Amino acid sequence: MDALACTGRVVGTAVGTISLVDWLQLCGHFLLLSFAAIGGAIVIAPEMHRLMVTQTGLLTDAQFSASIAIAQAAPGPNVLFVAVMGYQAAGLAGAAATLIGIMLPSSTLAFAASRWSSARQDWRAIRAFKAGMAPITIALLVATGWILAANTPGKAHLILTAATALLVWRTRVHLLILIAIGALVGALGWV
Amino acid sequence: MAQDPTPLARPGSLTELFTAFTLLALQGFGGVLAVAQRVLVEERRWLTRDDFIEILAIGQVLPGPNVVNMSLMIGDRFFGWRGAAVALAGMMCVPTVLVLILAAIYMHYAADPAVAGALKGMGAVAAGMIVGTALKLAPVLRGNPMGRPASLAIAAIVFAGIALLRWPLLRVLLVVGVLACAFAWMRLRAQDAW
């Protein structure tokens, strides 16, 4: 890992270079991490922090936090924070290494599971899995929203969160409008 | 169990699948799940709420991003492995390019309080969207073979465990998930015996 520690970091501009060996090493680490990402890539963020900041020094603490913030501000799946991390560490090649690493095992597994379960839809075990998991799935969504809101400092933003939940639940207002309102209210410093 | 009056539609082509997933990914600020539910269940009507929950449930016990796993499974359902690849590409390609562009320019504005405030406001809305989506999906529990009181009790335990007590997800999935599925299995066995 020492070799990996020496490459990559070009502070500020985030255009690093990376040797093939380091690329494979970085990609390999994320390949392994992918298997642990039950509940989404954000679940293994602490482990990524250990790897990218503490162990290899490919990223600073600030860069690590910024990766998550940037991906949250951008549209698309949250897992893209992993690509931003790779990008800040070693440019486009780095982004490819981390994103391919994090996606390949989980996608392959998901595909296999999808095939396996749809071929056995009538099995009682599969029906039981679906029935048993339905309330858990819904509860996990509520818990995710709760944790996101609770982890943000302050109180005013909770009103925004609650109002959004109500509007999404009860009306068909366009979700982009809600996001735009959130950005505006936030930019004005009201939350 | 089908609460939806009109029949389901399906994507006409791989191109339509790609476009649909790209468009929905691009609307997904702070997470794609709320938009996915809105677009796939309510607007395009490719899935029922039950389908949506089922696919999400599978995505949830597997490693990897839920919405990405979900896109892959939905693509597979309509067009086999090519559909899976195309839906996955739709979900990832354009958003990846966008986020990297954003990453490249972010450094210049990171310290701006208005930018930081906007991010905070968007985060608050994103949290609310996930909760609202969950509330919208909750009626599927009505048809659950475990019965409504048991379903609600399981949901309450999981919520309290994860959100309030901060139990590790894996432990919750293993303990509550296995118990819930075992209970559902017994109820289904009793139903099937009729």
B180 close to A (CB below 8 A) = yes
Higher pLDDT, A169 or B123: A169
Q: How far is B40 from chain A (nearest CA, A)?
A: 14
Percent residues over pLDDT 90 in chain B? 64
Helices (H) and strands (E) in chain B, counts: 8, 0
Tell me whether residue B87 is in a domain. yes
Based on the domain organization, do B124 and B166 belong to the same domain? no
How close is the nearest chain A Cα to the Cα of B29, in Å?
Answer: 4
Asked if residue B133 and residue B38 are part of one domain, the reply reads yes
Which positions ≥6 away from A12 have C-beta within 8 Å? B107
From the list A110, A128, A190, which residue is nearest B64 (CB)? A110
Same domain, B97 and B151: no
Query: Closest Cα partner for B137 from A125, A178, A140?
Result: A140
Q: Is the pLDDT of residue B53 over 50?
A: yes
Residue B112 is assigned to a structural domain of this protein? no
Evaluate if residue A65 carries a pLDDT over 90.
no
Q: Respond yes or no on whether ipTM tops 0.95.
A: no
pLDDT of residue B111: 75
| pLDDT of A4 strictly over 60 | no
The residue-averaged pLDDT of B45-57 equals: 93
B183 touches chain A (CB under 8 A): yes
Both B135 and B182 in a single domain?
no
> Which of chain A's residues have a Cβ under 8 Å away from the Cβ of B194?
none
- How many structural domains compose chain B? 2
Minimal CA separation from A7 to chain B, in Å: 19
How many Å apart are CA B181 and CA B187, to the nearest integer?
10
Nearest CA in chain B to A140: B159
**Alpha carbon of A110: minimum distance to chain B alpha carbons (Å):** 6
Test B158 with A129 for CB contact under 8 angstroms: no
Q: Are B138 and B148 in the same domain?
A: no
Question: What is the pLDDT confidence band of residue A6, given thresholds at 50, 70 and 90?
Answer: very low
- Tell me which residues of chain B, numbers 41 to 100, contact chain A at a CB-CB cutoff of 8 Å: 42, 53-54, 56-69, 72-73, 76-77, 81, 84, 88, 91-92, 94-96, 98-100
Measured distance CA(A146)–CA(B127) in Å, rounded: 7
Q: How many CB atoms lie within 10 A of CB A179?
A: 22
Residues B167 and B97 in one domain: no
Strand partners, A38: B63
pLDDT above 80 for B15: yes
How much is the pLDDT for A2? 40
> A118 vs B77: CB contact, 8 Å cut-off?
yes
pTM: 0.83
Residues of A in contact with B133 (CB under 8 A): 141, 168
Give yes or no: residues B133 and B173 share one domain: no
* B144 at A interface, C-beta within 8 A: yes
The number of beta carbons lying within 10 Å of the beta carbon of residue B143 is 15
**Are B129 and B177 part of one and the same domain?**
no
**Is B51 part of a structural domain of the chain?**
yes
Mean pLDDT of chain A: 86
Same domain, B153 and B131: no
Closest CA to A76 of B101, B186, B75, B174: B101
Residue whose entry in the numeric block shows the structure tokens 């390999």: A28
What domain range includes position B130? 8-105+120-142
